Homo-oligomer: A and B are copies of this chain.
Amino acid sequence: MWFLRINMSDRTHQFTEVPEKYKYFAGRALTSNLIADEVPPPAHPLGPNNKLVFSPGFMTGTSAPTSSRISVGGKSPLTGGIKESNAGTPWAWKIARMRIKALIVEGQPEDKGAFWGVVIGWDKEAEQPTLEWFDATEYAGQNAYDIYPKVYEKFEGRRISVCSIGLASEHAYGNAGVIFEDMSQRPSRYAGRGGLGSVMGSKGLKFILLDDSGAPGVEIVDKDLFDEGRKKMVAALQEHAITKPKGGLNTYGTAVLINILNEAGGLPTRNFASGRFEDAAKIAGEAIFEGNKKRLGKELYNHACSPGCIIRCSNTWHREDKTEHVSCVEYESDWAFGANLEINDLDVIAELIKLCNGYGLDTIETGVTLGVAMEAGVLPFGDGEAAIKMVHQMGKGEPMGRILGSGTGMAGKVLGVTRVPAVKGQGMPAYEPRAVKGIGITYATSTMGADHTAGYTIAPEILGVSAQLDPLSPEGKAALSRAFQATTAFIDSSGHCLFIAFAILDIESGFEGLIEEANGVLGTSWTADDVVNFGTEVLKVERKFNEAAGFSKEEDRIPEFMHTEPLPPHNVVFEIDDETLDKVYGEI
């Protein structure tokens, strides 16, 4: 196993052995520990002292199902705190199979205009990875959909996987994701949140290409135990209604949640002015499935975003003429550009998603920021054409585009808006905190800013997974969020997609499988308690970094307007007091 350090100040690199301290870390645990250990908390996120770390999970690159996630970590230009954002992509699978446990990008070139790429390969004789540099300046200033084919072509004959940044990162936006290829070489898999693409851009690094030909694959200490765990995990995923083949996710994609959240009164609509969107059904996962069926003349089930995924929730939206419009229309993106902007047209939503993919923008942050711009009167609610124009302005770096590209919290300040749905500057995802209290607690207290994936209490609060809790009740939700945040930090370190959570929460053998997989790969003898403890330790490291970077508990708050403005249809406010919020990490 290797650490690969790339120094952009002088364009040198170094493969080193993994220090003992980090041996049992991977994914988020490793990115967060490395950032906490090596980045001074007051460092400017776009300066030479910030670092960008890539790390696949424990199970990534193995045959464990749905485990091809790559964690990207750094100090976030969006939140000003530590950030881990992960994506499912073949790139994750390959870097793991090349036994690179962490890729650490350091320093900063003096020349601000130049961009570079690296190709990481495998030297079979030396039995170690290799690295080549190439000048990537010619690829700057272009749409990702245009440059990806050129890059595959440039390295024709090699099995190249692409990680890159887009224009948003070249503009140094707080809203700029790290882009990864999907299974069909689309620039559509994002470590989207928190502006980590701009950290990569600030270092002049445009591409990280992988060629894993000849790579040895992941070392597994106890193959039998691993296999036992893997089988339990596969069985659980194939059994659970949400994750099974032709189940909820495979049929309708994540957008299956649109109707469910709308029914629950928790689908944020018109910049979080209501929890119900009158046209929800027109943009729901069911409408995507039916729309494709009508246009293609056949049923289309979803595909995998990365090798080894058996959930396969990624959809593709097609135009009237049967050509592909975009892949994929996720729930969050669909909502951000749909209900949140009062847009009810899937073709418009698909176009907005495609623009974000092409420009290197996070769809959630973009949609939530556009909602704030609509609130400010910059463009009208419901005006899809104006929204499309505005995203072009973002991609092109025009002044209003820069305002919106800076992210929800910042744009809200620049535009003088008081109704800004953000925590720690990061825009809120597709669940209304007033209507679903537990997720509100996660938004408020997560080390990541407003992030649904940091502690997805939607599972028990809305989906009845593991339990059926009343979403409107604050009862026990602080403890719930804390437990979910800890377990999530483990899952984010495992390389598994968070969607295994449904199966492991509901099916005991699935959870056993997760632990056995980990113990099999690592040679550990972790128990269920260790999973929570492991995650808790990750959260502590992140929290400590954030405190040293200047976060006080007053930043663990839901915006003022959600405390005072009742949300239709339930006409509820976010009534959870500061003391309760402070207990989430206070009692960790």
Contacts and interface: CB of A to CB of B under 8 A. Distances in A.
Given A552-B552, A560-B44, A402 B414 contact: yes
Contact of A560 (B42, B402, B550): B42
A152 interface: no
A466 to B, nearest CB: 33
A173 B403 contact: no
Nearest to A398: B399
B416 A43 contact: no
A549 B403 CA distance: 25
Contact of A416 (B46, B398, B399): B46
Contacts of A559: 44
A90 interface: no
Contacts of A416: 46, 77, 171-173, 198, 202
A554 B548 contact: yes
A499 interface: no
Interface in A8-44: 41-44
A44 B421 CA distance: 13
Interface in A553-572: 554-555, 557, 559-561
A104 interface: no
A524 interface: no
Interface string A276-289: 00000000000000
Nearest to A547: B552
Contacts of A42: 554, 557, 560
A413 interface: yes
Nearest to A173: B416
Max chain B C-beta neighbours (<10 A), residue from A402, A416, A560: A416
A174 interface: yes
A115 to B, nearest CB: 15
B560 A43 contact: yes
A104 B363 CA distance: 43
A191 interface: no
A41 to B, nearest CB: 7
A47 B418 contact: yes
B418 A414 contact: no
A400 interface: yes
A44 B422 CA distance: 13
Nearest to A553: B550
A167 to B, nearest CB: 13
A172 B402 CA distance: 18
Interface residues of A, number: 38
A406 interface: yes
Interface in A364-403: 398-400, 402-403
Interface in A412-459: 413-416, 418
A391 to B, nearest CB: 15
Nearest to A550: B554
A551 interface: yes
A83 to B, nearest CB: 15
A410 interface: yes
Contacts of A47: 418, 560-561
A49 interface: yes
Max chain B C-beta neighbours (<10 A), residue from A547, A554, A559: A554
A394 to B, nearest CB: 12
Contact of A403 (B77, B202, B414, B552): B414
Contacts of A555: 550
Interface in A152-190: 171-174
Contacts of A77: 413, 416
B418 A44 contact: yes
Contacts of A552: 547, 550-552
A278 to B, nearest CB: 24
A73 B554 CA distance: 22
Contacts of A554: 41-42, 547-550
Contacts of A49: 560
A64 to B, nearest CB: 39
A40 to B, nearest CB: 8
Contacts of A549: 554
5 contacts: A41-B554, A42-B554, A44-B561, A46-B416, A47-B560
Given A198-B416, A399-B400, A403-B414, 17 more contacts: A42-B557, A44-B560, A47-B560, A47-B561, A77-B416, A171-B416, A172-B415, A173-B416, A174-B413, A402-B414, A403-B403, A406-B413, A406-B414, A410-B414, A550-B554, A551-B552, A552-B552
